A and B are shown apart, each in its own frame.
Chain A
């Protein structure tokens, strides 16, 4: 098995996520980008699991964990975004800067 393909794919996925987190203004888009980054990690975990032929399947187990945690995280994240929108009529992340000097 060639490890290179999944790794390059995951790297692209991760970079797209980074770009989304750093550059998008919409908080929902930022949350989606975080999902991309998490899934890039998942791809890596699965790929290494297959590559190393791990009998315990720890890569896949970790991927499942990440999916579960990501679901919880996005639930909370969307709830926050919803509340911000209700309070401030905006979901632009650069306008939410109350915690500053």
Chain B
């Protein structure tokens, strides 16, 4: 069965081609083709996950793709281990549900067929990343996602703002990709291999110098920063909300942004071998989770709240990985996929119904959209980390890990410094509070009180509600899988490898669990107290002017990028290169044409029409050749 794993990315790729070429002429306008492809992949990935759960060996098959020279061989292959199996399951599940949901959500859209083609290719890109056994193949999938995200975010390109958002997402992630590529080359230079098992083994063995490993890890992390929307490259993610809501769900839950976290997990032994890199991951994670959670608190656009929440939660995963919680980080990725996809799709149901993203025009929807309300609430509480929902277990595992490394006298084999782990823990708890706060705010503003908008809200249809129901179930159940209630460290055991052994039984620190739950409940209570009566005249944070101004301007990061980099490019660099192209490059081309013309203009007078001149030239030429042949060559 595992030998068929390559079909999982291949089928959506095929579906993409088929939909693009013939989708419009097939029944269902191409949507069933994409759903069928990803559905088959889903069945396969369940079989693979079952194998991993059953304790099966990891599967690695690779062959040479392009032997460029003796020591530069580009391989192609698949690596199906526990980590890949878990991700395969998450990606195919979410993608399947999103595609089913899109059948209803996108109905009547102008580019309906094209939309499904893009979804298929996008999923395929993520699946290539997950299955890749070497960094170059991973990069290929990574870039496929990059270009698909560009197309999907710019789906409604008629609105100029949307196409700008698409360009922004594409270019911002590209900044990180630059580092990623440099990281690949650094590691190749050090290990002479692109293959992930070889690189991680080399990093683990201690044969490489610590400087090389740190450089490689930090550069790889640059790619993850770009793709996973970490500070300071997170600015593209909220703007990416310009795309249709199912796309947001797909980007934010299973694909694209998860790729960055996956990359760090995939190359984890490299990070583990470098305390500096781990510390960086943990600190970037802590910083990002806090600033994103604060931003989520002041947004009016419901999708933007969720977008910042995603940034914040991804930072949680990063921070978890940064403090040595390999299992904890992936566990959070696993549960987050369910409840974040649920939140986005439920928000999509609202947007589909009342045609606005603004929470100031919502309110009172719990009566007209009871199912959406119920599922959204489950997702929101899961995000807030309320026991026993999925988010609680994974978030708590990260905090427990940070506590153990930071305050519990350190954990064996974790290179992160205690100070950093303490920062992660404190910021993590603070973020948990803020998360509960903005989640409650979102719930009250969208569903509580009376309806403030102009449209006529109605409940979504069955095709949209079915995925919501499935995801709501997932948001409840997914956490229990990895919780101490069933077995010990399940997820950790599945994804463990020889280099990354499972930590075994993690003793549950009930005091810690209790206090984080208390923090989350406090957040919910505070949120209810503040937003029960709907949006206040002035946002509460607006009463702290400096902070609010800072949040209003999104920490001035966009202004910085716009004012410095974009202006430098469009203001100086672009005209300079334009000048160079017009004058120098075109100058060379036009100049050679002009020179030829001038020369031939002079030369044409040779053709005088005087036959006797020609004869004379002929004669002189023959004599010249005769002289050369006899006197020079013949000698």
Contacts and interface: CB of A to CB of B under 8 A. Distances in A.
**What 9 A-B pairs come out closest when comparing CB atoms?**
A100-B609, A97-B609, A101-B604, A22-B616, A99-B609, A100-B608, A101-B607, A22-B612, A21-B615
Contacts of B65: none
A87 B430 CA distance: 107
Given A98-B609, A101-B604, A101-B609, 19 more contacts: A18-B619, A21-B612, A21-B615, A22-B612, A22-B616, A22-B619, A93-B612, A94-B610, A94-B612, A96-B611, A97-B608, A97-B609, A97-B610, A99-B607, A100-B607, A100-B610, A101-B605, A101-B607, A101-B608
A35 to B, nearest CB: 15
A30 B611 CA distance: 11
Nearest to A98: B609
Contacts of A23: 612
Interface in A1-59: 18, 21-23, 30
Interface in B592-635: 604-605, 607-612, 615-616, 619
Interface string A52-89: 00000000000000000000000000000000000000
B616 to A, nearest CB: 5
Interface residues of B, number: 11
B15 to A, nearest CB: 65
A86 B616 CA distance: 27
A101 B609 CA distance: 8
B611 to A, nearest CB: 6
Nearest to B606: A101
Given A101-B604, A101-B605, A22 B615 contact: yes
Contacts of B605: 101
A23 B610 CA distance: 12
A18 B620 CA distance: 11
A37 B604 CA distance: 30
Contacts of B608: 97, 100-101
B264 to A, nearest CB: 73
Nearest to B604: A101
Interface of B: 604-605, 607-612, 615-616, 619
Contacts of B607: 99-101
A98 B616 CA distance: 19
A41 to B, nearest CB: 13
Interface residues of A, number: 13
A56 B177 CA distance: 84
A30 to B, nearest CB: 8
A32 to B, nearest CB: 14
A101 B619 CA distance: 22
B519 to A, nearest CB: 94
A21 B611 CA distance: 10
A100 B612 CA distance: 13
Contact of B611 (A18, A93, A101): A93
Contacts of A101: 604-605, 607-609
7 contacts: A30-B612, A93-B611, A97-B609, A97-B610, A98-B609, A100-B609, A101-B604
Contacts of A93: 611-612
Contacts of A97: 608-610
Contacts of B616: 22
B404 to A, nearest CB: 93
Nearest to A25: B612
Contacts of B609: 96-101
B618 to A, nearest CB: 10
Contacts of B604: 101
A22 B611 CA distance: 9
Contacts of A22: 612, 615-616, 619
Contacts of A99: 607, 609
Contacts of A100: 607-610
A101 B615 CA distance: 18
Nearest to B603: A101
B599 to A, nearest CB: 14
B256 to A, nearest CB: 67
A22 B617 CA distance: 10
A16 B401 CA distance: 111
Contacts of A98: 609
A98 B609 CA distance: 6
B627 to A, nearest CB: 16
A57 to B, nearest CB: 27
A101 B605 CA distance: 7
A96 B613 CA distance: 13
Nearest to A94: B610
A25 to B, nearest CB: 9
Contacts of B619: 18, 22
A93 B609 CA distance: 10
Contacts of B610: 94, 97, 100
Nearest to B608: A100
A23 to B, nearest CB: 8
B88 to A, nearest CB: 75
A26 to B, nearest CB: 12
Contacts of A18: 619
Nearest to B616: A22
A99 B614 CA distance: 12
B320 to A, nearest CB: 82
A23 B608 CA distance: 16
Contacts of A30: 612
A101 B606 CA distance: 9
Contacts of B612: 21-23, 30, 93-94
A91 to B, nearest CB: 13
Nearest to A97: B609
A98 B615 CA distance: 17
A22 B612 CA distance: 5
Nearest to A101: B604
Nearest to B611: A93
A20 B374 CA distance: 113
A96 B605 CA distance: 16
A33 B124 CA distance: 85
B63 to A, nearest CB: 65
Nearest to B612: A22
B279 to A, nearest CB: 79
